[in-house]
Structure 1
């Protein structure tokens, strides 16, 4: 059976019995009707029943309709209130509107159709008001939930960029950098982070922000490298519609978006001399002007910049403004290359592996000792970013439950502790006779080939053009086995 929707409930109050009966007969087809002969009975009904609208006569012996509806407004504000009266004194109408908050003042004699229409409108108004109240409550709950989510995300971000969360060995050279961040983060000073590409400059910029008093404000990033001046100005300072070809809407620049927080200007050493002047003015005056706009806007932003260049040398060469350099480098900070902190490689590799396993939904048991040894010998010109990419590639290519050395790319397998120098320079500077130097190179080639072939001597001898007996002889000669990691031949 189909459920029948409940009808709105109406309470009619009138001290004249005939009028009350007439009201009930008129409304009974469209509404659930309750009746009361006086104010006391009406209050009893309201206390026991759910009523949408009360329709009340104005002139009653105990209390007037306005007096009764004023109390109803205080106790049951969600109930719609209507007055019936054969009199139209302005004082009653004003009191009804101001004190009782009535929906409508209905004069006698009333027409049945008009009365039904008026009561239905009042019921609809009550329903809309109830729905609006529910929606407002939902909105408040949604706002509270949204605020809670934002706070949770912000807290997670702050946890992620706490200094103790930066992955490194307990004796890492980064400890000194982290101690510097801890000292300067709370203070509103500009910081210039220098270091090679991929060393983690943005990571430390975020650490500075999320350990500062601006942690609950925006952190925005702009890479300034190889970007035309007009586009860079638009990105940083914003523009007005029509200020240049393609500017079809107003655009708020990153300095405005970061107001109260931090802006990170990556690769600051790449900006042109002309743009250096514009940026210097913004930093000096702490205000920006959008392209095509005459209005200047004050900004409150902490600036952190980074570069892989030697900006002091750039200043001496006249390619970078000295005054801008000093504005940016109130506190200079230098990040060491990964090759200068190889003690961190196993920690970082395992951290990146955990992230990659979660992303790719592929599980392994970790790295073999041989793989970690080969990683430690390599000089990582791409620094931490290159290491992360290599770990991800190894996981994707892996077929077993351990990431072994043969999964590494050849340039990493061929590396030696001295491989930051070229091979010819290395050979020229090795100690010993020509025979000893050639043997050292031969041993390195043997080891790299065996690792790539997972120490399968048949495959390695085939690639090297050796017989199995010849390969075995060389392995015995160099005392080379799977656990060997040295380059020098053993005699």
Structure 2
């Protein structure tokens, strides 16, 4: 039977500890402490979901101890067990220590198991809804209802049928693959350029699966150094590293029973890839600074804009991790590969802009839609969204005319013009240079002028790329600043 959570029993009587352990050990990992001091040592080294504390102990009452726990370790759900029914103790426990349940002795085993399961569920729900700092007085039923309503709305919002595409779009095949993947508990790797909608497809897969009633969590693996990324995904204990000021539950544990979306997985270091591989192989995590591992049941959907097969061959990505993640690969086409969808996506974005900008009369001029169709969209759907928002801000009238597309703002030629040159009468040398210039421009726009990133993607040194920027007079961005 899988362990549902970690419970800390605090009682000065060994027989009481053992009785609670026997009842709970089939469903939970049970830690025992004979005093408040011993319990605090355990809390410093373990992530605990719920605490069962005896009220009458030799040196300190349970309420007094849990009041201190509330200040130092606010996350665990706190419960008192007592053979006494002192109303003052009960009131003090509820008001001062944020007690979730006051359990009287003698307790019934089945009822106790149900209470502890509810406490662990409450802990997880609070983490999912980011209410961990709120007093633990809301019932699991109330929080479950709130979460259920949110998930129901998300399921409608991220349904496969809501992914905008025309009848002859290549997205038909992508959506069909997504539906197939959703039916089975299999790891999915979504590839494609930045801004193509990889996270949108991942959400549709989750909400179309049997895991839809559980959490869907997202982490951008390229945004954090290894230590912080490990803390975010696997959790950490207070003091595990510089900057770890409090216990943190990892996203893998938050997503237990649900789905985790690991975006930009290709940006992770080889050292972190080893740790992630172990989690996927063993279905268990060890929070930084913690002594014990904990089991998790999580479906992984990963995404990257890199060619991971090429990264594997180059030795930059672990082959075994690649095959773990790419059990079911799906490729998202670039926006320029689905021009028939551009008018539909543009109208959908404009509808949202009308509401958010409170300009219900906005509409596209025919020239704007024509310009959209001709542009190569290196930033894909995300760039299209930004462009429409920018047009709305700049427009004095309700009709949105020819947009100030990126290529035109930078004084550069869109890809369609370059294609025209390739088909024209220029010399081979000129055609090759035009194509090279176009590729460099595309990558500069994609990575916002980051020279190191563009050089790495194109297989050039920084010096080599700078020489090409100078050769094609691309040394400055749209604002006139030198690329960094």
Greater mean alpha carbon deviation, residues 159-168 or residues 196-205: 159-168
Aligned residue among 415, 419, 430 for 1:420: 415
Give the whole-Å Cα distance in 2 for the aligned partners of 1:349 and 1:410. 16
Distance 1:147 1:327, change over 3 A: closer
Q: Residues 120-168 of structure 1: CA distance to partner in whole angstroms, max 9, x if unpaired?
A: xxxxxxxxxxxxxxxxxxx999987765443332222111111111111
Are the equivalent residues in 1 in contact too, given 2:189–2:328 (CA < 8 A)? Answer: yes
| Kept after mapping to 2: 8 A contact 1:356/1:392 | yes
Larger radius of gyration: 1
Instruction: Please give the secondary structure, in 1, of the residue aligned with 2:218.
Output: strand
Query: Which residue number corresponds to residue 267 of structure 1?
Result: 264
Match of 1:258 among 255, 258, 264: 255
Output one character per residue of 1:159-187: Cα deviation in whole Å (capped at 9) or x when no partner.
11111111111221101000111111021
Instruction: Report how many residues are paired.
Output: 293
Residue deviations 1:423-443, cap 9 Å, x none?
4x753541599xxx9xxxxxx
Q: What is the alpha-carbon distance in structure 2 between the residues aligned to residue 344 and residue 412 of structure 1?
A: 22
SS at match of 1:300: coil
- 2:239 and 2:139 map into 1 onto residues whose CA distance is 38
Shift of 1:408: 2.9
- Residue 234 of structure 1 is aligned with which of 227, 231, 234? 231
* CA distance 1:323–1:163, change in 2 (3 Å): same
Residues of 2 paired with 1:285 and 1:146: CA distance?
A: 31
Residue 330 of structure 1, CA deviation: 0.4
Does residue 409 (structure 1) correspond to residue 405 (structure 2)? The answer is yes
Aligned partners of 1:231 and 1:144: how far apart in 2? 34
Of residues 415, 422, 430 in structure 1, which corresponds to 2:424?
A: 430
* SS of equivalent to 1:314: helix
For the structure 1 residues 413 and 430, does the alpha-carbon distance in structure 2 shift closer, same or farther, using more than 3 Å as the test? Answer: farther
Is 1:319 the counterpart of 2:316? The answer is yes
Paired position in structure 2 for 1:40: none
Change (3 A) 1:143 1:257: closer
Aligned equivalents of 1:146 and 1:256: distance in 2? 18
Range 142-151 or range 379-388, more displaced = 142-151
**Structure 2 equivalent of residue 300 of structure 1:** 297
Cα 1:261–1:146 change in 2 (3 A) is closer
Question: What is the rounded CA distance, in whole Å, between the counterparts of 1:163 and 1:304 in structure 2?
Answer: 16
SS of the residue corresponding to residue 290 of structure 1 reads coil
The aligned counterpart of 1:181 is 178
- The separation in 1 between residues aligned to 2:140 and 2:276, in whole angstroms, is 38
User: Corresponding residue for 2:273?
Assistant: 276
Is the Cα–Cα contact under 8 Å of residues 354 and 362 in structure 2 kept in the other structure? no
Structure 1 residues 272 and 366, CA gap change in structure 2 (3 angstroms): same
Residues 290 and 428 of structure 1, relative CA distance in 2, 3 Å threshold: closer
Does the CA-based 8 Å contact 1:287-1:297 persist in structure 2? yes
8 A contact 2:202–2:301 mirrored in 1: yes
- What is the distance in 1 between the residues matched to 2:247 and 2:140? 28
The aligned residue for residue 385 of structure 2 is 388
Q: Provide the secondary structure at the position in 2 that maps to 1:220.
A: strand
SS in 2 for 1:304: strand
What does the per-residue CA deviation read over 1:222-270, in whole Å, with 9 as the maximum and x for residues that have no partner?
0011421111111111111111122221111111111010000000000
The alpha carbon displacement at 1:412 in A equals: 5.3
Over 3 Å counting, the alpha-carbon distance change for 1:415 and 1:370 in structure 2 is farther
* Aligned equivalent of 2:212, options 190, 210, 215: 215
Cα distance in 1 for partners of 2:162, 2:422 equals: 44
CA distance in 2, matches of 1:140, 1:271: 40
SS of corresponding position for 1:182: helix
SS at match of 1:185: helix
* Residue 103 of structure 2: aligned partner: none
1:265 alignment partner, SS class: strand
Q: Aligned to 1:184, what secondary structure does the other structure show?
A: helix
**TM-score, scaled relative to structure 2:** 0.57
Preserved CA contact (<8 Å) 1:374 1:415: no
Once the two structures are TM-superposed, the CA of residue 398 in structure 1 deviates from its matched residue by 1.3
Moved more, 275-284 or 241-250: 241-250
1:151 aligns with 2:148: yes
- Alpha-carbon distance in structure 2 between the residues aligned to 1:153 and 1:180: 26
TM superposition shift of 1:419? 3.9
Change (3 A) 1:143 1:244: closer
TM-score by length of 1: 0.56
Alpha-carbon distance in structure 2 between the residues aligned to 1:140 and 1:328: 40
Shift of 1:422: 7.2
Instruction: Compute the displacement of 1:397 (Å).
Output: 1.3
In the alignment, which residue of structure 2 is the partner of 1:163? 160
For each residue in 1:334-377, what CA deviation from the matched residue of structure 2 results, as whole angstroms up to 9, or x when unmatched?
A: 00000000111000000001111111111224211111011000
Note if 1:369 corresponds to 2:373: no
Paired with 2:356 and 2:142, the residues of 1 have a C-alpha distance of: 27
2:426 and 2:312 mapped to 1: Cα distance?
45
**Mapped contact 1:419–1:426 kept (Cα < 8 A):** no
Structure 1: segments with no counterpart, 5+ residues:
1-138, 438-491
- What residue in structure 1 maps to residue 285 of structure 2? 288
How has the CA–CA distance of structure 1 residues 304 and 414 changed in structure 2, closer, same or farther, with 3 Å as cutoff?
Answer: same
